[in-house]
Amino acid sequence: MKRFFSIILISILVVLSVPFNVFSSASDIVMPNDFAIVSNAVYLENLDTGRVVFEKNADEKVYPASTTKIMTSALALEMCESPESTIATVPFDIWDEFVGMNISTAGLSRGEELSITELVHCMMLQSANEAASTVADFFGREEFISAMNSKAKELGCKQTHFSNPHGLFGEDHYTTASDMAKITKWALGVDNFLEISEKARYTLRETNKNGEKILATTILLQDPYSKYYTPYVKGVKTGTLNQSGRCLVTIAEKNNMTYLLVLMGAPLEPTSGFWDASNSAFNETRLIYDWVFSNTHLENIINYDTPITEVPVKYSKKRDALVLYPYGDLYALLNNSKDELPEVYYELDLPENIEAPVHNSQVIGSAKVYADDILIGEVDLISREEIEYSWFSMVMSKMTDVFTSRPAVIIYIAVLLLIVLYVLYIVLTIKKNKKRS
What is the DSSP secondary-structure string of 314-327? ES-SS-SEEEEEES
Q: Per the domain annotation, does 12 fall within a domain? A: yes
Q: What is the DSSP letter of 426?
A: H
Q: What's the pLDDT at 15?
A: 31
3-class DSSP state of 169: coil
Do 203 and 170 sit in the same domain of this protein?
yes
Q: Per the domain annotation, does 238 fall within a domain? A: yes
Q: Per the domain annotation, does 224 fall within a domain? A: yes
- Cα–Cα distances in Å, from 143 out to 135, 164, 208, 283? 12, 11, 28, 38
Residue range 34-81, pLDDT digits in tens: 678 999 999 999 999 999 999 999 999 999 999 999 999 999 999 999
Q: Per the domain annotation, does 272 fall within a domain? A: no
Do 159 and 239 sit in the same domain of this protein?
yes
Mean pLDDT value of segment 26-30: 64
| Cα 1 from chain centroid (whole Å) | 44
Q: Per the domain annotation, does 112 fall within a domain? A: yes
User: Is residue 360 scored above 60 in pLDDT?
Assistant: yes
Q: Which residue has the higher pLDDT, 395 or 285?
A: 285
Q: Per the domain annotation, does 255 fall within a domain? A: yes
Residue range 157-174, pLDDT digits in tens: 999 999 999 999 999 999
Task: List phi, psi (to 5°) of 329.
Answer: -95, 160
Q: How far apart are the first and last CA of the chain?
A: 57
Average pLDDT of the chain is 87
- Residues sharing a CB contact under 8 Å with residue 8, sequence separation 6 or more, in sequence order: none
Q: Which of 11-25, 85-99, 100-114, 207-221 has the lowest mean pLDDT?
A: 11-25
Instruction: Give the chain's domain count.
Output: 3
Range of the domain at 344: 1-38+281-387
User: Is residue 327 scored above 80 in pLDDT?
Assistant: yes
Q: What's the pLDDT at 30?
A: 78
Mean pLDDT value of segment 4-26: 33
Q: What's the pLDDT at 301?
A: 82
Q: Give the CATH number of the domain where residue 293 resides.
A: 2.60.410.10
Final residue before a domain boundary, out of 370, 387, 404? 387
Order across the sheet with 354-355: list the strands.
344-349, 363-371, 374-383, 321-326, 309-314, 354-355
Do 33 and 170 sit in the same domain of this protein?
no
Q: What is the DSSP letter of 50?
A: T
DSSP for 365-378, please give it.
Answer: EEEEEEETTEEEEE
Per cent of the chain over pLDDT 70 is 86
Do 61 and 124 sit in the same domain of this protein?
yes
Q: What's the pLDDT at 339?
A: 57
- Spatial separation of the C-alpha atoms in residues 249 and 68, rounded to whole Å: 11
415-429 burial: b if 16+ Cβ within 10 Å, else e? eeeeeeeeeeeeeee
Q: Which of 333-337, 411-415, 433-437 has the lowest mean pLDDT?
A: 433-437
Do 82 and 215 sit in the same domain of this protein?
yes
Q: What's the pLDDT at 248?
A: 98
Do 375 and 395 sit in the same domain of this protein?
no
| CB neighbour class for 202 (10 Å; exposed up to 12, middle 13-18, buried from 19) | middle
Question: Do 342 and 24 meet the contact criterion of CB atoms below 8 Å apart?
Answer: yes
Q: What's the pLDDT at 424?
A: 83
- Spatial separation of the C-alpha atoms in residues 183 and 71, rounded to whole Å: 7
Do 90 and 108 sit in the same domain of this protein?
yes
Q: Per the domain annotation, does 216 fall within a domain? A: yes
User: Is residue 425 scored above 80 in pLDDT?
Assistant: yes
Question: Do 150 and 139 meet the contact criterion of CB atoms below 8 Å apart?
Answer: no
Q: Per the domain annotation, does 259 fall within a domain? A: yes
Final residue before a domain boundary, out of 243, 266, 289? 266
**H or E segment at 179?**
helix 177-188
Final residue before a domain boundary, out of 350, 366, 387? 387
Question: Do 44 and 255 meet the contact criterion of CB atoms below 8 Å apart?
Answer: no
Q: Which residue has the higher pLDDT, 212 or 409?
A: 212
